[in-house]
């Protein structure tokens, strides 16, 4: 009998394989949202380590009175500015964008993000932004001393501190260009997320069935689109002042106008950094409580209440600039009102955990750690919302402590919760639970030892943004804060060790290690490049839970009868 020869498989030229499938170029040229998301997260985490090193250097300088560890106070100003800029713009925002990039398409049942090439461009603008900012390291500010030219006016860059007349450092110009480019990246990401969620949802996934993490991504994207142009306008005008000697923000112009433009972005930016974290907590607590989220509709409404109110409270950062008393009263009332939707979310999270079959795995520990720390940050925020209190504490370490309880407590704890929850999906390995416990407790104790104690320094009148101090009665408190800061650093080191160890020796995760509810757990770990072989059909807010239940309750298949011959 004649046999038909199978056609030979097509042979691709070797150049194609070397160009598109080598490990390095596959990362450099990818448009896969999962690979881009991992680059976002890696870049963000590296920035976190750099910013942490800057913080430790500052804490060593402040650990004892009259310290000369950083002898040049100009260097201290640069470290302080770089720490704030790196933590906010180069760590938190890219890290949260990376988490959203990875899981929003998976959670809505899409094969990729709506505009893959725009997504890739949005990521690659971030290394460019970081490079421009840190180029000041290699440009001497003073050729005699060789000091670097990093920005030195704080992460806020207020004129006249950043005015060319008083500050000739090229670092300010680099800062303006860098953060403007980063803002462009954020706008690209926001458009991509909104389009993906609205246009590429799986069949049956109505808006009322979206996971709360996806709703958090929607609200974050809306804030980015509304608020980011204000920051870009302020930075571009400041750069024009410095380069072309105009008078937008000089002492002949309106220096306070810069603060309005800056804070119209930067207060919503607080929620840009923590709303994705709220979404993470809204996924973690139901899974480890074995209950559906309590008050789904009110959780969504609370998100948009926060979005609306956050756009109207920026001037509470400016109570000491001499605003009209009626304006101050309005912003004080709005600032206190924003605690209401946040309180709704807190009670719903507690209602979800109440009477649940709680599993205190590492993600749940970090979720509860977030609840404790962010609550303290919210309470101190209510105090600072009162104009008379803020007037007294505005330039003190009380504000620094409050800021870190809100931003570090609201973002870093939620990021760790999300990483322990979702890294098994990304890597296919579960992180070590014992190391995870050490990671949590060292971070929780170190964080509170640093910033809870710092409130007392602020109440005692220690000013922020100083390189040294003479009062001996602040010495013991500052030393405790410095030791606690090194405990935070130890916690981050434990996490790095955990990731490296678990990447090779961790327990295999399988598709669904936590018995989750949403669609990302229905695919392999790591997911395939195309995400879903067949786009799933959604019938409720917990589609993967429905599929598992249907598989368990389906009648066994009847075997086909054997042939008679």
- DSSP conformation letters of 360-394: --HHHHHHHHHHHHHHHHHHHHHHHHSHHHHHHHT
**Helix and strand numbers, DSSP H then E, in the chain:** 19, 4
Q: Mean pLDDT throughout 498-523?
A: 94
Does 445 map to a domain?
Answer: yes
At 169, which CATH number? 1.20.210.10
C-alpha 351 chain-centroid distance: 26
Q: Mean pLDDT throughout 310-320?
A: 96
Contact 116, 37 (CB under 8 A): no
Does 91 map to a domain?
Answer: yes
Contact 268, 311 (CB under 8 A): yes
Q: Which tokens belong to 222?
A: 């809306």
pLDDT of 66 = 96
Q: Which residues contact 241 (CB under 8 A, 6 or more apart)?
A: 159, 163, 164, 247, 248, 249, 250, 253
Q: Mean pLDDT throughout 466-471?
A: 96
Q: What percent of the chain has pLDDT over 70?
A: 93
Does 558 map to a domain?
Answer: no
pLDDT of 138 = 87
SS3 content of the chain, % helix, strand, coil (to 5): 70, 0, 30
Query: Structural domain tally of the chain?
Result: 1
Q: Mean pLDDT throughout 227-244?
A: 97
Q: How wide is the angle at C-alpha 69 spanned by C-alphas 65 and 70, nearest 5°?
A: 105
Give the pLDDT confidence of 69-101 residue by residue, as tens digits. Answer: 998 899 999 999 999 999 999 999 999 999 999
Does 1 map to a domain?
Answer: no
pLDDT of 564 = 58
pLDDT surpassing 90 at residue 148:
no
Query: Which range of residues forms the domain containing residue 333?
Result: 30-529+537-545
pLDDT surpassing 90 at residue 483:
yes
Q: Mean pLDDT throughout 159-165?
A: 93
pLDDT surpassing 70 at residue 17:
no
Does 555 map to a domain?
Answer: no
Q: Mean pLDDT throughout 302-324?
A: 96
Q: How far apart are CA 445 and CA 223, in angstroms?
A: 33
Write down the mean pLDDT value for the chain. 93
Reported as a pLDDT band with limits 50, 70 and 90, residue 3 is: low
Bridge partners of 396? 463
pLDDT of 145 = 56
Reduced 3-state DSSP string for 440-483: HHHHHHHHHHHHHHHHHHHHCCCECCCCCCCCHHHHHHHHHHHH
Q: How far apart are CA 446 and CA 59, in angstroms?
A: 13
C-alpha 347 chain-centroid distance: 23
Helix (H) or strand (E) holding 270: helix 255-289
- Who wins on pLDDT, 18 or 138? 138
pLDDT surpassing 50 at residue 285:
yes
Does 94 map to a domain?
Answer: yes
Reported as a pLDDT band with limits 50, 70 and 90, residue 237 is: very high
Reported as a pLDDT band with limits 50, 70 and 90, residue 125 is: very high
Taking Cα atoms as reference points, which of 259, 271, 277 lies closest to residue 311? 271
Does 185 map to a domain?
Answer: yes
pLDDT of 190 = 98
pLDDT of 12 = 46
Does 8 map to a domain?
Answer: no
pLDDT of 141 = 72
Reported as a pLDDT band with limits 50, 70 and 90, residue 376 is: very high
Q: How far apart are CA 473 and CA 337, in angstroms?
A: 37
Q: Can you give the pTM of this predicted structure?
A: 0.93
């Amino acid at each position: 009998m004649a046999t038909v020869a199978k056609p030979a498989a097509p042979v691709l030229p070797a150049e194609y394989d070397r160009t598109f499938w080598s490990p390095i170029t596959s990362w450099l040229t990818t448009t896969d949202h999962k690979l881009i998301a991992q680059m976002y997260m890696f870049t963000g985490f590296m920035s976190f380590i750099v910013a942490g090193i800057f913080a430790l250097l500052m804490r060593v300088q402040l650990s004892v009175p009259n310290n000369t560890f950083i002898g040049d106070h100009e260097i201290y100003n640069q470290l302080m500015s770089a720490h704030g800029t790196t933590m906010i713009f180069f760590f938190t925002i890219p890290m949260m964008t990376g988490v959203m990039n990875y899981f929003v398409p998976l959670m809505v049942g899409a094969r990729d993000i709506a505009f893959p090439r725009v997504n890739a461009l949005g990521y690659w603008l971030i290394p460019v932004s970081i490079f421009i900012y840190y180029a000041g390291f290699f440009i001497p500010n003073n050729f005699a001393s060789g000091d670097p030219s990093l920005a030195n006016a704080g992460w806020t860059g207020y004129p006249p501190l950043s005015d060319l007349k008083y500050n000739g450092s090229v670092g300010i110009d680099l800062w303006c260009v860098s953060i403007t480019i980063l803002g462009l990246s954020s706008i690209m990401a926001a458009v991509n997320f909104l389009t993906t969620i609205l246009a590429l949802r799986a069949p049956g996934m109505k808006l009322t069935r979206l996971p709360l993490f996806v709703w958090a991504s929607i609200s974050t994207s809306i804030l980015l689109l509304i608020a980011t142009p204000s920051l870009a306008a302020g930075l571009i005008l400041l750069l024009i002042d410095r380069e072309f000697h105009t008078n937008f923000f000089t002492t002949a112009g309106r220096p306070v106008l810069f603060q309005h433009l800056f804070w119209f972005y930067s207060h919503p930016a607080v929620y840009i950094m923590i709303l994705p974290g709220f979404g993470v907590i809204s996924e973690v607590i139901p899974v480890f409580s074995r209950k559906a989220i309590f008050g789904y509709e009110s959780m969504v409404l609370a998100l948009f209440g926060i979005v609306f109110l956050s756009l109207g409270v920026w001037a509470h950062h400016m109570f000491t600039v001499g605003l009209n008393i009626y304006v101050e009263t309005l912003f004080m009332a709005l600032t206190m009102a924003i605690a209401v939707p946040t309180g709704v979310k807190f009670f719903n999270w507690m209602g979800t955990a109440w009477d649940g079959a709680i599993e205190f795995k590492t993600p749940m520990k970090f979720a509860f750690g977030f609840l404790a720390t962010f609550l303290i940050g919210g309470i101190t925020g209510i105090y600072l919302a009162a104009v008379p209190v803020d007037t007294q504490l505005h330039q003190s370490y009380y504000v620094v402590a409050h800021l870190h309880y809100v931003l570090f407590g609201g973002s870093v704890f939620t990021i760790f919760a999300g990483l322990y929850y979702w890294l098994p999906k990304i890597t296919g390995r579960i992180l070590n639970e014992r190391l995870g416990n050490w990671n949590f407790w060292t971070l929780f104790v170190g964080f509170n030892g640093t910033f809870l104690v710092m409130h007392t320094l602020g109440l005692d009148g220690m000013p922020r943004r100083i390189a040294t101090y003479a009062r001996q009665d602040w010495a013991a408190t500052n030393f405790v804060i410095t030791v606690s800061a090194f405990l935070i650093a130890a916690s981050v080191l434990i996490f790095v060790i955990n990731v490296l160890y678990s990447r090779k020796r961790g327990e295999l995760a399988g598709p669904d290690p936590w018995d989750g509810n949403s669609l990302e757990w229905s695919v392999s770990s790591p997911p395939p490049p195309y995400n879903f072989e067949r786009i799933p059909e959604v019938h409720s807010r917990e589609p993967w839970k429905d599929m598992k239940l249907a598989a368990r309750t389906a009648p066994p298949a009847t075997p086909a009868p054997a042939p008679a011959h």
